[in-house]
Amino acid sequence: MSVRNPAATTPVRRAQATAEGVERTSAFEVLTRAGFVARGVVYGVIGILAIKLAIGAGGKTTDQSGALRTIAHQPFGKVLLVLVATGLAGYALWRLVHALLGHGPERSDSGFDRLAALGSAISYGAICAIAVEILLGSGSGTSGQESKATAGVLGWPGGTWLVGIAGALFIGIALYQGIRGLTQDFLKDAKTEKMSDATRKSYKLVATYGHLARAVVFGLVGAFMIKAAVDFQTESVGLDGALAKLEHQPYGSPLLGIVAAGLIAFALYSLADARYRRI
């Protein structure tokens, strides 16, 4: 049974009705589960390249767009990228539906949960758009787009405040990821009753490790964005820059390796969610 806000405007009610119709289709579930696979592939590529750098095997630090370009340069890269882009679109759509309807049979998500879902939908929609640009041949630039965006925004009226707020949002996301990992809040969204004991233990381990690794990198991104706003510096960092900053610290290679392994763990968690996530 759906729960709607009686005070909602007619356009909102229409959007909710449309979302409910989409959510009930089998195609929606298939596309959503493909989205978890796509998310896992992207984070897996980022983690593998970073861990290769940490052990001196010729890797590099990169972000989501760099991971997509790496995929595009593999054998059958365009086919693989089409599949990943389709999955990312499905994941963004699923998060958008949650923003409109909430999650669970009683639609009991809080306003914060719905706002987080909307932010996730926008983020993965943007990553999907980058994949499409690469497929069309217009996305061949390098990683580090966050730095260029920060430099542009700082020149706007009130730009330093906007960059600072964006940094604070990243830190908020990092805290959310850390809390979710430490409390294992992710378990309520998984079909743990369908897992064997060994699978459940492995799922908890990789999910916890993966969430904590994402907390580290998002926290670093947020901190450097706030620093850029305070110092009015045009040099900020994205996910790739955060990983690079880790590598340049004392004991940087081990630190980078630990976080990179965590991103691979998050990729494995995403792949497991393609099977066990409650849609």
**Does residue 29 form part of some domain?**
yes
Q: Mean pLDDT in the chain?
A: 85
**Does residue 5 form part of some domain?**
no
pTM confidence score: 0.85
**Does residue 109 form part of some domain?**
yes
Contact 189, 244 (CB under 8 A): no
Q: What is the pLDDT of residues 64-95, one digit of tens each?
A: 999 999 999 999 999 999 999 999 999 999 99
Give the burial string for 41-50 (b: 16+ CB within 10 Å, else e).
bbbbbbbbbb
Tally of structural domains, the chain = 1
**Does residue 4 form part of some domain?**
no
Q: What is the pLDDT of residues 124-147, one digit of tens each?
A: 999 999 999 999 986 554 455 555
**Does residue 2 form part of some domain?**
no
**Does residue 132 form part of some domain?**
yes
CA gyration radius, the chain: 19
The identity of residue 225, as a single letter, is M
| Residues near 220 by beta carbon (within 8 Å), at least 6 away in sequence | 237, 242, 245, 246
pLDDT score, position 3: 46
Exposed/middle/buried for 263, CB within 10 Å: 0-12, 13-18, 19+? buried
Residues of the chain with pLDDT under 70: 1-9, 12, 16, 19, 103-110, 138-158, 233-237
User: Which residue bears the tokens 């592939």?
Assistant: 41
pLDDT score, position 185: 92
Residue 220, domain extent:
10-276
Q: How far apart are CA 234 and CA 79, in angstroms?
A: 37
